[in-house]
Amino acid sequence: MNGPLHGLRVIEYADERGCYAGKLMADMGAEVIKVEPPQGDPTRQFEPFLDDVPGPERSLYFWHYNTNKQSVVLDLDTDSGRDAFRALLTTADFLVESMPPGYMAERNLDEPDVRPLNGALVYISITPFGRDMPSAHDHATDISIMSRGGITWMNGYDDHSLPPVRGGGNQAYHTGAHYAFMSGLVALLHRDRTGEGQHIDVSMNAAANVTNEAGSYTWLVAQDTVQRQTGRHAAVRPSMPSQVQCADGRWANTGVPPRKPAEFSRIHDWLAEAGLLDDFAEAPLLQLGAERERIDLSRLSEDEELQAIFGAGRNAMTHIASQLTAYEFFTGAQERGFQVGIIYSPEEVLDDPHFKERGWPVELEHPEHGRSFTYPGAPYRFEKTPWSLRKRAPYLGEDTERVLASLGEASAGNAASGAPSTSR
């Protein structure tokens, strides 16, 4: 079965800021041709490397972000390279580029320059601030976008002598790429109906700014400022801790503590089943909670017994967690209807029974290494047009000859400067 973007051609001229948009398209069936400068995309030099041995074909970062893509080497600083790039755009449905503002225009490859070649082209530009913004030429990287865009302000610890924390994994790049892809799809639907292409200006700073949840709307609506807290929502008024360390040293998020009579009953039973009831002095309060006809949280401030019951519910969760492994606590709580989450490290999902049963870890062949490697799997499951990993990230320039030949002799010429790499 083909993906929903089967039959669409994407030209990608994007570094770490835009390559995820190309991957999202490629994994859903689009033919993505990654155009790289003769020295290769900069992310080929990013750690981690396979077996820690550097090399342009060994970056696991590059592997992840460039699955299912082809690689064509073109030097956009030469006439022949630009000619071939234009020829490629003539055949394309999308261009995804993440060059600094002005870069494409200086090479006569900006949207107005290429529009006469292909009226249906969706031309997507991903830049840190948007192309015409006051700070368009400011320097930016993931941590600066996350900071200027408000995200680091909300991540961190109760102890404000510790710095705000960037979420790991270059998420500001991801967020820009998500919006590039979403808006590219809107443009595709517009084109399905009208035949008309267009230009899309994606601002990573704006994308971070509108991916702030309560941080933004608390200010927009009430002019209040949220303050960061350990492992839970930044808030105007401090809230109760929500992370517990379990018996195996791993952490879990305790989610929403018991609030309904039936929930107090269930946590009391869980303590009993786990043989922990005798160690837990507040157990009678849980029974009081279970015996109440209903619990009205809006009366919490005037009902002292209810406060004690509520506190006992939280303490019971913490107590159970401290006696079980994080996985036992997670599954035990969820089986009893409590929204608890184990705090996995990124690789631990590979061994999780749920992720395994749904086929999330995916094996991808690397013929040159005579083996497959395990990759992150599908972010969504389409019944008829599934996500798929079909091919490992391309070696530098491995598709140059074939792709340029397909454009016709006239435009192929000497477009590729530098021979396609065969090194590993």
Site for other proteins in 13-32 (CB under 8 A): 16, 24, 28
Burial environment of residue 139 by CB neighbours within 10 A (0 to 12, 13 to 18, 19 or more): exposed
Task: Please state, in angstroms and as integers, the Cα–Cα distance from residue 48 to each residue in 43, 53, 316, 347, 368, following that order.
Answer: 11, 9, 42, 14, 19
- 127 binding other proteins? (CB under 8 A): no
Single-letter residue type at 9: R
Nearer to other proteins, 346 or 408 (CB): 346
Among 43, 70, 388, 400, the residue binding other proteins under the rule CB under 8 A is 43
Q: Provide, rounded to whole angstroms, the least separation between the CB of residue 107 and other proteins.
A: 20
Stretch that binds other proteins, among 79-87, 149-157, 286-294, 303-311 (CB under 8 A): 149-157
Single-letter residue type at 30: A
Please state, in angstroms and rounded to a whole number, the distance separating the CA atoms of residues 9 and 82.
Answer: 18
First to last CA, the chain: 32
How many other CB atoms are there within 10 angstroms of residue 409's CB atom? 8
- Which DSSP symbol is given to 189? H
Stretch that binds other proteins, among 33-41, 228-236, 257-265, 317-325 (CB under 8 A): 228-236
- 301 binding other proteins? (CB under 8 A): no
Indicate if 268 belongs to the active site: no
Contact 36, 72 (CB under 8 A): yes
- 201 binding other proteins? (CB under 8 A): yes
Restricted to residues 86-125, the positions that interact with other proteins (CB under 8 A) are 111
Among 195, 222, 275, 298, the residue binding other proteins under the rule CB under 8 A is 222
Among 51, 302, 304, 409, the residue binding other proteins under the rule CB under 8 A is 51
Please state, in angstroms and rounded to a whole number, the distance separating the CA atoms of residues 45 and 13.
Answer: 17
- Count of residues that bind other proteins according to CB under 8 A: 155
Among 252, 267, 317, 412, the residue binding other proteins under the rule CB under 8 A is 252
Out of 6, 137, 160, 233, the active site residue is 233
Q: Provide, rounded to whole angstroms, the least separation between the CB of residue 212 and other proteins.
A: 6
Restricted to residues 318-337, the positions that interact with other proteins (CB under 8 A) are 330, 334, 337
Single-letter residue type at 405: A
Burial environment of residue 400 by CB neighbours within 10 A (0 to 12, 13 to 18, 19 or more): buried
Stretch that binds other proteins, among 99-107, 147-155, 299-307, 315-323 (CB under 8 A): 147-155
Contact 44, 62 (CB under 8 A): yes
Q: Provide, rounded to whole angstroms, the least separation between the CB of residue 30 and other proteins.
A: 10
Contact 110, 201 (CB under 8 A): no
Restricted to residues 357-416, the positions that interact with other proteins (CB under 8 A) are 357-358, 360-361, 373-385
Least Cα distance to 13 among 89, 87, 120, 79 occurs for 89
- Kindly state the tokens that stand for 302: 């005037």
Among 107, 178, 314, 391, the residue binding other proteins under the rule CB under 8 A is 178
Q: Provide, rounded to whole angstroms, the least separation between the CB of residue 77 and other proteins.
A: 20
Nearer to other proteins, 193 or 409 (CB): 193
- Which DSSP symbol is given to 365? E
Among 11, 35, 207, 290, the residue binding other proteins under the rule CB under 8 A is 207
Q: Which are the catalytic amino acids?
A: 233
